[in-house]
Structure 1
């Protein structure tokens, strides 16, 4: 990744790769060494991002029965507590004939276990998200001899220590860190450079004559916009910088904003949280519980909401009144956004989740939705 850079407002920042890519590379190398009997110092893996990347490998042991190695996490110029972390993989042949052509993935020290519902991995399983698990299996399959079965064991010596500096314990992930990453690539996020690059997009929209725009925290919102016939060309990502982007919208002369976002972040906005990164604050569960109480739910349901791991899990406890509750949350989020810009920019909101789809919109959102539909003036 030494030659992979992104330019953000004149700053040259180097890309890195995720823990998922580390796990895939270490697994592939271990199986390759077991198959060939030879050490390897580099493997290439394909990432969901679309890049094929080379990752350095440090062999530990190679013999007829097993092989092991480790890779070192490289986060590029992105601040990340896992940068420099060593992830190990050991490969062993499956002796049971029923395991031919099978790939068994197990974990050891330093990789967390999931203990609560609501995450993408079921309780009781290792904290390896679906995309990294798919990457591991696909890369191992490329070097696994036909008709053989292999068991790959992954571990991270300092994983449990590092996990204490993450939000994993709060999510019910115990004993280590998660193997994550939806693209396999870490895009460097110099916060100031990133904020400035997003703000430039707002300015460009206004200069092109678009004073009614869509703001959305990230890719989920962009996908929803695209799938629901809204003009993606008028959409600007905010990431976690909600307050900053509202400020810039006011500064650059935006007149109307349709804020489209996943419930996870948008519920925070309804609680008055304008920087939605988890380290700055939350309030999602408390907000949902507050409106559930207004709608007549009793203490038993409210306790379940407050004990939820994710927003989707909380919503599962209010299914019969979720539209009613989220109409109120949408209106509250819109009011908080308007307050941030002193009422000088009209802001309406629309909230969804990937699991439940559309949840609600603020009272006057339909007018902006109509204006922003593809084919409308």
Structure 2
């Protein structure tokens, strides 16, 4: 059977550039267009239909509908609008909220800003300056060059102002990491190749890397890492800590610790459900099931390190369906605590190696039994995180 090929789509940046090019052409020529072609940075030609075309004397606008292909992108099917108008304002004033592009061949500058649904940058560390629209460098160049091409074809050399908007952007942004990254008010205009590839491991690890980088740029020296939703809930409800201090690393445990070490975090709290963390105790770098499932074997190895005379338990543990069930068996045998102590010690050793020797404290838990194990310095580090949160609430820092 032929394997199904996932369909690629176009980035928000490509949609914005196509809409801006079309709006420019319609403003300068006065003709309605039904679609617009452009070539993405990757060399792929996009021929995108236009919606909501409006042409006025001083301004033209239109929209391109985002098509993310088979990628589960929250912006799929959202409309990306561009409005282009003749510019006769104060350039110095415009630069407070606009990016500038100096025209080619003696043409006047172009100015680019954001309208409804596009976020604004409030924290350093991103590829856009603080106080400016969250329109990343590659999409900015795409938009400017597309508008410049349309302006040149029309024989016009005067200045223009471009505004990109996404009416659904503010609502859609709630489903993204934007607020955690310091982007307020809407979505980012993203893209490096102009093409959306279906979600890959590279995309996920890039998100983790960016979150860690943002925290490092903000001056943080400690961070919480957790694999997923169970860990997040545990951190909030049981440890009474905020995930503002945390980064969710999914199955990319080893990668996340390597990134945290490279960013200079010197204290890392690693908290998660034993079903995930027991794999780390066996040195499993990526805990996705496609790389294998050795949970019970790793747990049994921890058991034998604690008690050599427990061979009769071997089949019971190895045949357990879940770590919750296995933990219950160990609890009945009265050896849950020392086995978890051994597992935590191993987790601590591996994660410290992956982070380049940083201080890592570990807390693991189960739904039925709560906290199962904590490394020796975990309580102290938890208090530091709690103290830091209290300080921020008082100072607003």
What TM-score do you get using the length of structure 2 for normalisation?
0.51
Q: Tell me the residue number matched to 2:141.
A: 134
Q: How does 1:1-377 map to 2 (within 5 A)?
A: 10-95=3-88, 101-145=108-152, 146-189=156-199, 218=202, 273=226, 325=266, 338-339=283-284, 342=298, 360=356
CA RMSD of aligned residues (A): 4.8
**Bigger Rg, structure 1 or 2:** 2
* Cα displacement string for residues 105-163 of structure 1 (whole angstroms, at most 9, x for unaligned residues): 12111111111222221221111111111111111111113522111112111211212
Check conservation: 1:119, 1:310, Cα contact below 8 A: no
Contact residue 45 and residue 52 of structure 1 kept, 8 A: yes
Structure 2 CA distance for aligned equivalents of residues 122 and 280 of structure 1: 35
Q: Is this contact kept in 1: 2:35–2:50, CA < 8 A? A: yes
State the alpha-carbon separation in 1 of the partners of residues 194 and 210 from structure 2: 25
Q: C-alpha displacement at 1:169, in angstroms?
A: 1.9
Uncovered stretches (5+) of structure 2, i.e. residues with no partner: 92-101, 216-222, 234-241, 250-259, 271-276, 288-293, 302-349, 359-397
| Deviation for aligned residue 1:273 | 4.9
Aligned 8 A contact 1:118 1:309 in 2: no
Counterpart in the other structure of 1:288: none
Q: Is the 8 A contact 1:327 1:361 kept in 2?
A: no
Between the two proteins, the alignment pairs up a number of residues equal to 253
1:163-193 CA distance string (max 9 Å, x none): 222222222222111111222111124xxxx
Partner SS for 1:91: strand
- Separation in 2 of the partners of 1:53 and 1:159? 23
Relative to structure 1, the CA distance from residue 52 to residue 348 in structure 2 (aligned partners, 3 Å threshold; closer, same or farther) is farther
Distance in 1 between residues matched to 2:67 and 2:38, nearest whole Å? 15
**SS across alignment from 1:111:** coil
Residues 272 and 174 of structure 1: is their aligned pair in 2 closer, same or farther, counting only changes over 3 Å? closer
Matched-pair contact (CA < 8 Å) for 1:15–1:76: yes
Distance in 1 (CA, whole Å) between partners of 2:246 and 2:34 is: 44
Distance 1:263 1:103, change over 3 A: closer
- Structure 2: distance between partners of 1:160 and 1:73: 16
Rounded Cα–Cα distance in structure 2 between residues aligned with 1:57 and 1:272: 44
Distance 1:328 1:360, change over 3 A: farther
SS at match of 1:30: helix
Change in CA separation of 1:119 and 1:66 when aligned onto 2, cut-off 3 Å? same
Against the structure 1 CA distance between its residues 171 and 272, is the aligned structure 2 distance closer, same or farther, given a 3 Å change threshold?
Answer: closer
Residues in 2 aligned to 1:350 and 1:134: alpha-carbon distance in whole angstroms: 41
- Give 3-state SS (helix, strand or coil) of 1:177's partner: coil
Distance 1:140-1:280 versus aligned 2 partners, 3 A rule? farther
Give unpaired runs (5+ residues) of structure 1.
1-6, 195-216, 220-238, 241-260, 284-302, 312-317, 352-358, 363-377
Secondary structure at 1:131 match in 2 = helix
Q: 1:52 to 1:361 in 2, by over 3 A?
A: farther
Q: How far apart in 2 are the matches of 1:93 and 1:271?
A: 49
2:144 partner SS: helix
Q: Tell me, in whole angstroms, the C-alpha distance in 1 between the residues paired with 2:263 and 2:198.
A: 37
Tell me the alpha carbon deviations over residues 180-235 of structure 1, each in whole angstroms, 9 at most, x when there is no partner: 1222111124xxxx7xxxxxxxxxxxxxxxxxxxxxx538xxxxxxxxxxxxxxxx
